[in-house]
Amino acid sequence: MVRYANYIVNALKGDFGSSYRTHLPVFKEIMTRFPTTLALAFGSIMLTVVIGVPIGVLSAVKQYSALDNATMAGALILASMPGFWLGTMLVLLFASRLHWLPATGADSWKSFILPSIALMASNMATLVRMTRSNMLEVIRAEYITMARAKGASEKIVIFRHALRNALMPIITIIGMNLSGLLGGTMIIESVFALPGLGTLAVTAVRGKDIPMVMAEVIFIALLAGFINLFVDVLYAYIDPRLKSQYVRQKKIGRAVS
């Protein structure tokens, strides 16, 4: 119990001990690897949002069309592809055969293109389907019909009224995906030999490096908590009704007291 209490006190100070493998401070090694995982995660999320949300919106607007059917079929295929298989295929095509992009390492921004695409596939498939389903619910709402009746253009109706009200579940999915990616994409980082948190975790588990494993789990949990908190705060800016509801409850509480 004394050793456990000392560990907690030191952890609160940022000292998670030394690695059994390298004999270096654990937190220093984590922060050395974290920028690689951060760049990979944000690259993948940016591609997912920039490509997935417009495709989902377009698929909802063109419901039951050939484009909608092709989009849903493509999303199903992408969701069924294992990340390690897609990553291997990308390496064989763009690195080994065409020699356009590097296969391994993190020497330049080009090294993150293939792993970002491999990570993007399944996340984008989920985001496309989520965006489409939420947009279909919002498009059928009465205020959308009212906006069209007032003469608003279809572009304004879709992007200013419908998409904004459909963003709540979409942002939740994005936040969850970002938490998982920052937690360390072990398989993809292993395929592309990226020195990130994923490969660090695999190496620590294989070497029974207990201080490293414990510190990385705590670090990932804190990251996930901060991201979820940021998403909750972002809700109030996307949907003013939540902010007004909080202000109203606060005023009622003051009046009662």
pLDDT digits (tens, 9 = 90+) for 213-233: 889 888 888 888 888 888 888
The pLDDT of 79-107, averaged and rounded, is: 86
pLDDT at 238: 72
pLDDT tens string 49-87: 899 888 998 898 888 889 889 988 988 888 888 888 888
The yes or no reply on domain 17-256 and CATH 1.10.10.10 is: no
Q: Is the pLDDT of residue 245 over 80?
A: no
Alpha helices for 62-191 (secondary structure H): 66-80, 83-90, 113-139, 142-149, 154-156, 163-165, 167-182, 186-191
**3 state DSSP class of 18:** strand
| Average of per-residue pLDDT values in the chain | 84
Q: How confident is the model at residue 255 (pLDDT cuts 50, 70, 90)?
A: low
Domain ranges of the chain: 17-256
C-alpha span between 110 and 107 (Å, rounded)? 8
Q: Is the pLDDT of residue 184 over 70?
A: no
pLDDT at 254: 59
The pLDDT of 138-158, averaged and rounded, is: 81
Interaxial angle between packed helices 83-90 and 113-139, expressed in degrees from 0 to 180 and rounded to the nearest 10: 130
Q: What tokens were used for 217? A: 């789990």
Interaxial angle between packed helices 167-182 and 113-139, expressed in degrees from 0 to 180 and rounded to the nearest 10: 160
**Cα separations (Å) of 176 from 137, 142, 210, 226, 238?**
22, 31, 27, 11, 18
The pLDDT of 202-209, averaged and rounded, is: 89
The pLDDT of 159-186, averaged and rounded, is: 79
Tell me which amino acid residue 5 is: A
Of 119 and 164, more confident: 119
Determine contact, residues 163/130, Cβ cutoff 8 Å: no
Identify the burial level of 215 via C-beta atoms within 10 angstroms of its C-beta, where 0-12 means exposed, 13-18 middle and 19 or more buried.
buried
Region of residue 145 (phi > 0: left; psi between -120 and 50: alpha; otherwise: beta): alpha
The pLDDT of 111-133, averaged and rounded, is: 88
Of 180 and 230, more confident: 230
Tell me which amino acid residue 145 is: T
- Residues whose CB is less than 8 angstroms from the CB of residue 78 and which lie 6 or more positions away in sequence, other chains included: 121, 122, 124, 125
pLDDT at 4: 86
CA 133 to chain centre: 19
Q: Is the pLDDT of residue 182 over 80?
A: no
The pLDDT of 10-21, averaged and rounded, is: 86
Q: Is the pLDDT of residue 196 over 70?
A: yes
- Residues whose CB is less than 8 angstroms from the CB of residue 198 and which lie 6 or more positions away in sequence, other chains included: 37, 184, 185, 186, 187, 188, 189, 190
